[in-house]
Amino acid sequence: MNYDRVLCRRVRDVPPSGIRKFFDVVSTMKDAISLGVGEPDFTSQWTVNDAAIYSLKQGRTHYTANAGLMALREAVCDYLDGRFGVRYDPRSEIFITVGASEGIDLALRALVEPGDEVLMPDPSYVSYSPGVIFAGGVPRPVVTREEDDFRLTADALRAAITPRTKALILPYPNNPTGAVMGRGDLEALAQALRDTDIVVISDEIYAELTYGGQTHVSFAAIDGMRERTITLNGFSKAFAMTGWRMGYACAPAEMLRVMLKMHQYTILCAPTAGQYAALEALRVGRETDYAYVREMVRTYDRRRRIMLDAYGQMGLSCFEPRGAFYTFPCIRSTGLSSQEFAERLLFEQKVACVPGTAFGESGEGYVRCSYATATDKVVEAMERMKTFVGQFRKDQP
Amino acid sequence: MIHDLELSVLEILFNDSRTTPAQIAVMTGHGEEEIAAVIRSLEAQKIILKYPAMINWDRVEIDQVEAVIEVRVTPQRDEGFDAIAEQIYRFDEVSSVYLMSGAYDLMVTVKAPSMKRLALFVAEKLSTLDHVLSTATHFVLKKYKLEGVIFEERRKDERLVISP
């Protein structure tokens, strides 16, 4: 069989993820400390696991409504209202997805006609650009810069808009840079979008993880933006539940209905046990004023500071990330490319990080170091990185 | 009233008492001198008493048994439970004493080289104290979790070493 002829060219031509390539290299090193992990090192709370186990014991092994358990939809809507001041109707403006990733895919497929352009900050999470291509669209990366703290500026956005621009993916707090967008930053974007029909796909999966007094602002909470915003979020990062694959998509009913139609035909419903687990995570959160989340944030914050301090000692510049659990130091002063830096750091010091180029072309000159790793390992990794970077500093006059 | 910074310092030291003031300073975004002063103050207030290591003695080849003893006592006029508690906690064999609500008054943990020695301690020293009405001894067979630390954590980091 000639697979070249049978496989869809559009999908086939998407290059494999740069992360994947590096993963294969790191996997061969047994005792490396990995700063390359994009998920919490915390595990989901036991009471959350127990709720899922109990649901199974109760025989709740059937489908739920396509949109998910009504109790969960109500709980998520109350949560979003209480935490971020955005109100959605649990009956018509939300459904439970298989991770926020499903939401990204559905949002793109609900919007994109062949040839439509979708804007996204660069560097960004690895799935956006392929997702756009799978949906038949054209990804249009918008370069964000360290001097702007990797925020998407209104000027850059305006310059990128064409008559074919259908949507903007707005992923803040950002993976890989750790950048956040404050209310003023978002209002400036809103101004640039106000007279257009561009839909904003706001991926807010890291919303709970912000530091230094910065709190997350939902794009849908910006005056006039709710009608054009698809808000995507989930339980993976906020409640350390990555493996549960529990997310949700919120949007005005007309947009949501189209996304839900695809969800109905392709997924039917998110896994039932996971929905009970998610419901428990929100219940405990509400009762304890999100003590579990706050404890994670405090711990992440300390590691974040350890890393930033270490970069200072190494002489690497790094803007202060205020969100997610990544630092994105600039490694140009070593004279190495991102790929070389990551490979040599791995082979010479057994510390794994991810080359910035895995997240887009403008990631060249940077590496992503995650602090979702035990504090003592972060400290040790920074010591090794200091040794590694030190050799390049000596070379300089 | 204890401040957020003091709480952070306590939390960090509780987790790893080897953390230096310089490291705590970095982790909290404060000056090293300030952190050192906070620690001195916490020590002076007897909030920080000691900097021990948490040891799983079960893995150490020594002869030692431990028991939790429920002790019912008669509280004394003016002294309440404190005087009798002191009489108990002064014994070297006693590693902790708690005043409890419920069916008994004091929960006493005792360590001794053998079951016999421990039983003798209870029979000869503890039960014979004035005001001690009764004791119930429970030997500790295995410790699973202490102060939030799980002794034999089976869970390894099974996350993908690199993920997006």
ipTM summary value: 0.84
Q: Note whether B31 and B104 are same-domain residues.
A: no
Choose the CATH number for A46-287 among 3.90.79.10, 3.30.420.10, 3.40.30.10, 3.40.640.10.
3.40.640.10
Distance from the B8 Cα atom to the nearest Cα atom in chain A, whole angstroms: 9
Range of the domain at B11: 4-44
Q: With an 8 Å Cβ cutoff, is B23 touching chain A?
A: yes
Q: Is A54 on the interface with B (CB under 8 A)?
A: no
- Contact flag B23-A43 (C-beta cutoff 8 Å): no
Q: What is the pLDDT of residue B28?
A: 95
Measured CA to CA, the distance from residue A156 to residue A168 in angstroms comes to 12
Shared-domain flag, residues B26 and B84: no
Q: Is residue B14 part of a domain?
A: yes
Nearest chain B alpha carbon to A309: B26
Name the strand (E) or helix (H) holding A310.
helix A291-314
Q: What pLDDT sits at residue A202?
A: 98
Task: For an interface test with B, give the residue of A33, A37, A49, A211 to mutate (most B CBs within 10 A).
Answer: A37
B12-34 residue pLDDT tens:
999 999 999 999 999 999 999 99
Q: Do domains A3-43+291-391 and A46-287 have the same CATH topology?
A: no
| Interior angle at CA B103, CA B100 and CA B106, nearest 5 | 35
pLDDT by residue (tens digit) across A153-185?
Answer: 999 999 999 999 999 999 999 999 999 999 999
Q: Which residue in chain B is spatially nearest to A359 when comparing CA positions?
A: B164
User: Regarding the domain delimited by A3-43+291-391, which CATH topology (the fold level of the hierarchy) does it fall under?
Assistant: Aspartate Aminotransferase, domain 1 (3.90.1150)
Q: Quote the tokens at residue A257.
A: 């209905």
CB nearest to A37's CB, from B8, B11, B159: B159
- In 3D space, the residue among B14, B8, B12, B6 whose CA is nearest the CA of residue B40 turns out to be B6
pLDDT at A395: 52
Point out the residue among A32, A39, A305 whose CB comes nearest to the CB of B163: A39
A309 touches chain B (CB under 8 A): yes
Q: Provide the 3-class DSSP secondary structure of residue A160.
A: helix
Verify whether the Cβ–Cβ distance B161 to A27 is below 8 Å.
yes
This prediction has a pTM of 0.93
Distance from CA of B74 to the nearest CA of A (A): 39
B26·A305 Cβ contact <8 A: yes
Which CATH number fits the domain that encloses residue B103? 3.30.70.920
Q: pLDDT tens digits, residue range A197-209?
A: 999 999 999 999 9
Distance in Å, alpha carbon of A32 to nearest chain B alpha carbon? 9
What distance in Å separates the CA atoms of residue A354 and residue A35, rounded to the nearest whole number?
8
**CB spacing of B157 vs A127 below 8 angstroms:** no
* Cβ within 8 Å, pair B161-A36: yes
Token pair belonging to A357: 């180029």
- Same domain flag for B20 and B95: no
Average pLDDT for residues A206-224, to the nearest whole number?
Answer: 96
Q: Do A39 and B26 touch (CB under 8 A)?
A: no
Tell me the per-residue pLDDT of A387-396, one tens digit each, with 9 for 90 and over: 999 999 765 5
User: Which residue does chain B place closest to A351, by CA atoms?
Assistant: B161
Q: Is residue B50 in a domain?
A: no
Taking a contact as any Cβ pair under 8 Å apart, which residues of chain A between 11 and 50 contact chain B?
Answer: 17, 19, 22-23, 26-27, 32, 34, 36-39, 41, 43
Determine the average pLDDT of the residues in A266-271: 98
In A208-267, the residues whose Cβ lies within 8 Å of chain B are none
Measured between beta carbons, the chain B residues lying within 8 angstroms of A127 are: 164
Does residue B127 belong to any structural domain of this protein? yes
Contact flag B164-A41 (C-beta cutoff 8 Å): no
Work out the pLDDT band at B77, boundaries 50, 70, 90: confident
**Residues B84, B108: one domain?**
yes
d(CA A4, CA A80): 46
Tens of pLDDT along A88-143?
Answer: 999 999 999 999 999 999 999 999 999 999 999 999 999 999 999 999 999 999 99
The predicted pLDDT at position A396 comes to 52
Angstrom distance (rounded) from CA A260 to CA A80: 20
- CA-to-CA distance for B83 and B77, rounded, in angstroms? 10
- Per-residue pLDDT band at A27 (split at 50, 70, 90): confident
Structure tokens at B156: 């390894």
Query: What does the pLDDT read at residue A394?
Result: 62
Indicate whether B35 and B74 sit together in one domain: no
pLDDT at A129: 96
In chain B, the number of structural domains is: 2
B39-69 pLDDT per residue, tens? 999 999 999 999 999 999 888 989 999 999 9
Total beta-carbon pairs less than 8 A apart between chain A and chain B: 56
Which pLDDT score is estimated for A6? Answer: 95
Which residue in B26, B29, B161 is closest to A352 by CB distance? B161
Q: How far apart are CA A96 and CA A77, in angstroms?
A: 11
Question: B163 to chain A nearest CA, in Å?
Answer: 5
Q: What is the pLDDT of residues B127-153, one digit of tens each?
A: 999 999 999 999 999 999 999 999 887
Q: Which residue of A has its CA nearest to B9?
A: A302
What tokens does A64 get?
A: 């739920």
If one counts every other C-beta atom within 10 angstroms of the C-beta of residue A376, the result is 13
Provide the residue ranges of all domains of chain A, joining segments of one domain with +.
3-43+291-391, 46-287
Best mutation target, B26, B162, B163, to test chain A (most A CBs within 10 A): B162
What residue in A sits closest to B28 (Cα-Cα)? A302
Q: Do B16 and A39 touch (CB under 8 A)?
A: no
Q: A306-327 burial, b if ≥16 CB within 10 A, otherwise e?
A: bbbbbbeebebebbebbbbbbb
Chain B positions in Cβ-Cβ contact with residue A19 (cut-off 8 Å): 162-164
